[in-house]
Structure 1
């Protein structure tokens, strides 16, 4: 009996030691970082900025894998249905995590249950810009002008359900003006249309329009965040310009499949934050007028839950059919 107990104890200790060794050894193979956009987009650029440093830190290649389409939900499904072992990750935009689930009724996965947050990587403010032919110089002047011309002004977006679309609908609702939404396939085409005065207004990612604002090709009226942005310190927030509480921005963050071991999530979180602190990476993000974040999985999860509820309420009030 004693021999049997000793053998059992030895076996358990050996198995425990093997499991611990396996956890400590992560990663042992190539890691896929799936991006819900085509090469050249914002999510792709951020993934390719972070992946070399993450590869060096983890000691294994981190390969960017582009899976565009359906507001990021194709990429999201690929990660949500992958093995929860830390070898398939998602560089998601806020659109696909907290907005798309309330627009598309039959997603094959649940963004809150089937994906686990690792860390928020960057925050990208949006900014209300107009074609210079629009006479308004401030947010208040634009609201007053738009109220005298309901349905005349067209606002463009990067696509249905994008942050630029949701920001426009939110602005319409809170100011009680009536603009027409014109969706494009990305921020680039929408900005080109804005320059050509085919649309007059856009809630654009600041990264897409900063040079055009500085060269006076577009006029900035207000930023969509609750605080002013260092890249344009003289441009007021929309909230301080007569639309109290207006606060919406884009973000990109890394997710893994639900069920991924906590120690792997912790390792990825630590290493990604380390990469974001690298001067080369930090400077590249700052030059894009974006803000590096690098928060804890718990802080990121809280942000996702809060924004999910916020957009659920907003889209329900607007009407999902209007957003499609």
Structure 2
């Protein structure tokens, strides 16, 4: 019986040159434009001090890397959309050594669950109102805080000068926002419209994500699809200037790469030659010649072609 999931996570791309860049530098985080209930985006602007655009769209651009654990016997539909070049990484390794923010998506179907996410996103606004009310009713308790903030707004003592109840409620608010955004990064409806296809079953993609939380990289809230398309390269290039925006694998663990797939048989020799000549492997420079040969041979042993997969599976 064929399994419904795999022991590896696969990252697909449409471009051969991108596969080469992955082999040299590692997987890079890029922005993905995700659709959410409009209430979630509106609640974000209502709670934060950021200026809302004239028109708010139900989209958030989130920096992430997408994987799937669809078996290769069932991957034809997925590859038609996302490309026939891919890297496979053993799931045990990527779970143990990979991003702390790696998880399969949370697919939502029932209305109560969709509504729950929207309603929970409004909670920070309510907490802000409670905090403001507390300040108005107990303003004398904040005199030391105001005085210190005027002298030294970056003082480490500031939080200690807040009333205990207020400080705890403030902490709860920020923890909730952090956790809520982590849920949003993994949230997706089971079905929806995708690239002009109505009632597209997102759940069939069996998607996993590694994402960058909002406190480490800016998310783009309320943008239109047109704005995303115009700025995609700019935003992504701003991300990849930081080396931490790549998912790399140290050479000693390159054996955990399970597949390197090119589209055609006549590309196989070329990708092997590229691996043999590359000074970097998955984001790491390898200076020792003996080690370099060993690690290159490990990667070469993982090379296959999509044509062969379609024939053999």
Is the shorter-chain TM-score for this pair beyond 0.5, marking a shared fold? no
Please state which band the TM-score falls in when normalised by the shorter chain. under 0.3
**What is the TM-score normalised by the length of structure 2?**
0.25
Larger Rg: 2
Under a length normalisation based on structure 1, what TM-score does the superposition of the two structures give?
A: 0.24
Higher helix share: 2
